[in-house]
Chains A and B, each alone.
Chain A
Amino acid sequence: MAIDTRPPSSRPGAPSPVRRTSTSRDPERDSGRPARSLVVALVLACAALMVVDKTGGESSPVDPVRRAVGEVVGPVQAGVSTVVRPLVDLPGALRTNGSLRDDVDRLEAENAGLRNQLAKAGYDEQRLAQLAGLRAVARDSAHALVAARVIAIGPAQSFSSTVTLDAGSDTGLRPDMTVVAAEGLVGRITSVTAHTATVLLIVDDTSSVGGRIGDNLELGFVRGHGTLGTDDRLELELADRNVMPQVGQPVVTWGSEGGSPYIAGIPIGTVGKVYESLRETSYRAVITPGVDFTALDLVGVVVPSGDQHATIEADGSLVP
């Protein structure tokens, strides 16, 4: 029993000094403890409520009560929500003009970047496909390639079908190297500067490429007709005049000595039409080139394997 030593004046009312001084063993100490019957009654009430609500199912007797309480509490909740939400959003509204301007600048820059990406997406896909094609070419022909891009196409007024690449003698290019694209033979380099190279396309009318029909290895010459955009741009004349080319047969290069100017086994195109030349008693085949010469972009220049400038090795791997 602790003794209360405080003066009575500090205890206005002082209703129950007994409670304050008692221990837990003292029955008076627990005057605030609920009667056992009350606890049991409350537990039973809870259980009864749960059972009634559970067995009631869809037409539970609790539902009207729920609805009534909802009618009262719902609007209050809506009111509190209406009042509180702007307060919750307040930190967002208190931002400075400067930070908002920074945000606008940042978002504009991001937007421009994203637009740029979107515009280039198709182009990048195409270039990726071309690069993959070049790697396949390098792997198939077992030659290393220097990747280059077409940066200029010679005007038709010059009556020669030439393009310019963005790689030159600095990257190891020399005249009479073979230029290929993912789809097949493009042409050969005729001249180089330090940073550019001029390529004579195989459709030029001075171009003559040794070709053979891939199916039967018959030899011939593929000559250009000097036009970029129309049909009948390439023509195959076979050495054996008795052999008649068949439509759809593939034509590949048969290669020059030392791989210059043309390496062997590069696809040129397929036989599109066959004419019989009565005067020369031979067959003339029009070749549909595999390469679209008006849409050249990424091409590969064949260099000796192990060349320090090669960007695609002979096994198709990219040189970093």
Chain B
Amino acid sequence: MNRRGRLIGTLVAVFAALLLQVTVLPLFAWDVGGLGVVPDLVLLVVVATALATDTRFATLTGFWAGLLLDIAPPADHLAGRWALALMVVGYVVGRLVHDNAGDVGAGSRFAREGVRRPPLPLALAAAAGGSFVGTSVFALSGLLLRDAGASIGELLPVALVALLLDVVAALAVVPATLWLLDRSTSDGLPRPAVRPAQRLRVRL
């Protein structure tokens, strides 16, 4: 198990997602009530991490990625809000995916391969759920701490549009993150030609 490679891969993915999210995507933002809503790439990276690795690692990734999102410019909200939100996302997605993996059946793909290479519908469902949970936790923490000026009525359409955009962006971000984790955890050994997923599972 290449823990250092996994850590480096996750760091690269989180940084790249952060940079893309604040520099490139605003050019294509969807305007909702004067706010440009962009896909939450960092959140999707956390979701992908939760899909590909274990819950503990996903929770920690969510915490640190959220903390980075909290203090890296142009963030101006209270520090810790995204950290809490993404930590919850990592934990919830990780728990749901991993705990239910065995319930599908002994001969199923999950049982054979674990959840290291999740099927696309599962990834999209995880992205949608993670987006909803993360945006909700972030918005609710803002309401509780009176950090955000918006009301629930204004937050809801933004959260729904963000959910939609996240699901679309997940089509690209989740496979990219899985590929990056796959590459960063490989140890240079020749890959089995038949079952690459199996090898990935074993190493993680």
Contacts and interface: CB of A to CB of B under 8 A. Distances in A.
Contact of B71 (A30, A38, A66): A66
B83 interface: yes
Interface in B55-103: 55-57, 59-60, 63, 66-68, 70-73, 75, 78-81, 83-84, 87, 91, 94-95, 98-103
Contacts of A39: 59, 91
Contact of B57 (A32, A42, A49, A80): A32
A33 B95 contact: yes
B107 A2 contact: yes
Contacts, number: 138
Given A24-B101, A45-B63, A34 B56 contact: yes
Contacts of B102: 22-24, 29
B68 A50 contact: no
B145 A50 contact: yes
B95 to A, nearest CB: 7
Nearest to A19: B114
Nearest to B195: A10
Given A14-B202, A33-B56, A80-B24, 7 more contacts: A2-B112, A10-B195, A42-B60, A43-B87, A62-B79, A66-B79, A69-B68
Contacts of B147: 54
A10 B83 contact: no
Contacts of B1: 15
A77 interface: yes
Nearest to A62: B79
Interface in B16-54: 18-20, 22-24, 27, 53-54
A217 interface: no
> Which secondary structure characterizes the binding site on chain A?
helix
Nearest to B112: A2
Contacts of B73: 66, 69-70, 73-74, 77
A54 B59 contact: no
A5 to B, nearest CB: 10
B110 to A, nearest CB: 10
A2 B24 CA distance: 46
B57 to A, nearest CB: 7
A49 B69 CA distance: 14
Interface residues of A, number: 49
Contact of B84 (A14, A23, A46, A88): A46
Interface in A62-84: 62, 65-66, 69-70, 73-74, 76-77, 80-81, 84
Highest count of chain A CB atoms <10 Å: which of B18, B54, B71, B91: B71
Contact of A46 (B57, B87, B114, B202): B87
Interface string B157-189: 000000000000000000000000000000001
Contacts of B198: 6, 10-11
Contacts of A34: 55-56, 59-60, 91
A44 B106 CA distance: 38
| Pairs A-B, 8 closest by C-beta atoms | A32-B54, A49-B80, A46-B84, A2-B106, A34-B56, A50-B80, A23-B102, A46-B80
7 contacts: A11-B198, A30-B99, A35-B56, A54-B78, A69-B71, A74-B73, A88-B27
A47 interface: yes
A14 B202 CA distance: 6
Interface in A212-267: none
B23 A2 contact: no
A151 B41 CA distance: 71
